[in-house]
Amino acid sequence: MKTTFLNITFTFFSFSLLFSQTILSADGPGNTYEDITSVLAPGYNAVEVPDCSHTDFGRHIDEVFDTELDTNVFRFIAHQTPDNDRCQNFDRQRVEIKTYASSPDHLKATEGETVAYTWKFKLPNDFQVSSSFTHIHQIKAVGGPYESIPMITLTLRKSSPDRIELRYTATNNQNTIETANLDLLRGHWVQVTETITFGNEGSYSIDINQVSNGASILSYSNDTMDTWQDGANFARPKWGIYRSLNQINDLQDEIVRFADFSIEEFGPLTVEDLETKAEAITLVPNPAKHTVTFKNAKADDYDAIILYNSSGETIPTDNQLKRYRLDVSDLSTGLYYIAFIKSKRTVKVLKCLVK
């Protein structure tokens, strides 16, 4: 009997959810669909495969030992024919895993959250692509008018030379924003690190590096990117092989290996963050009754501030904040924390006592 070590979830609580990481790793042959689902959507089904098109083959995702990584990995198998899209669409084929509505909340990104997605994958040396789409990863919205088109897509495409494309849209008109030569991926294990702050004024970054030597294959970063499709309930990731059959003669049977999927959510500040002492900026007066001033603050010290109460909840400051001064006259008596944000990172946190 296989022992399952797939579902590793760390959750730490202080004021509210602070940090949560879920890891999906292969642990050897057998029960692959069940193991994937036990992590990504316990009690439901997180696997989309064309098993119905030829049941004699068996499952289109399995697990094998990989000598290069020295660990078990997932194999995603797509046949040129007769595979299709779950016996629902016959102009394309899909072998994917996902999070979705039935997944736990910590695997569904909501507006304002920052999520890091990491994973490894390896294309065969002779991996073939057509001029139509061959998606291997997507970030999709659920709900709203734009959920039919992914916000973020990594797709492989026939070109001169063949390439991997990073494609993006905040609405319904997806465009390619970065590319790399596909030969840099063929035959190599690569690691992908993708970090998204979800919001209309969000941020996005992705790095794809070779595992063996750390060489960069594709890198993109944008600190002022609309990463929330309006009307969405949540956003979710997908991984696998999802390809068009419009140019079927360009395609062949393929096996893509994947390993070590991780979804890591970052929430409000930790207790350690809240106790950080500023080296230069101080608050005067403190305690304060009407207005608190940021003494020794410089224009380039911070981009924004966030005010927290003693429970770790954010307090709006839209009309109270004036450059180096914060109006606290409407706040209830008690302890508050003022976090100074620079380049979307917390650089200083000060205690403020309101009397």
Q: What is the mean pLDDT of residues 10-22?
A: 46
Q: So what's the architecture of 271-354 in CATH?
A: Sandwich (2.60)
- For residue 2, the model assigns a pLDDT of 42
- For residue 6, the model assigns a pLDDT of 44
pLDDT tens digit sequence for 103-138: 999 899 999 888 889 999 999 999 999 999 999 999
Exposure string over 50-63, b if 16+ CB within 10 A, otherwise e: bbebeeeeeebbbb
Local confidence band at 56 (pLDDT 50, 70, 90 cut-offs): very high
26: helix, strand or coil = coil
Distance set, CA 87 to CA 52, 71, 107, 248, 289 (Å)? 6, 33, 27, 17, 67
pLDDT-wise least confident of 116-120, 125-129, 153-157, 310-314: 310-314
211: helix, strand or coil = coil
Q: What is the mean pLDDT of residues 206-219?
A: 93
Position 15 pLDDT exceeds 50:
no
Report d(CA 115, CA 197) in Å as an integer. 6
Position 34 pLDDT exceeds 50:
yes
| CATH 2.60.40 domain residues, the chain | 271-354
In CATH, the number for domain 8-266 is: 2.60.120.200
- For residue 245, the model assigns a pLDDT of 97
pLDDT tens digit sequence for 164-199: 999 999 998 999 999 999 999 999 999 999 999 899
| CATH 2.60.120.200 domain residues, the chain | 8-266
Position 9 pLDDT exceeds 70:
no
Report d(CA 133, CA 143) in Å as an integer. 24
- For residue 10, the model assigns a pLDDT of 36
Position 224 pLDDT exceeds 70:
yes
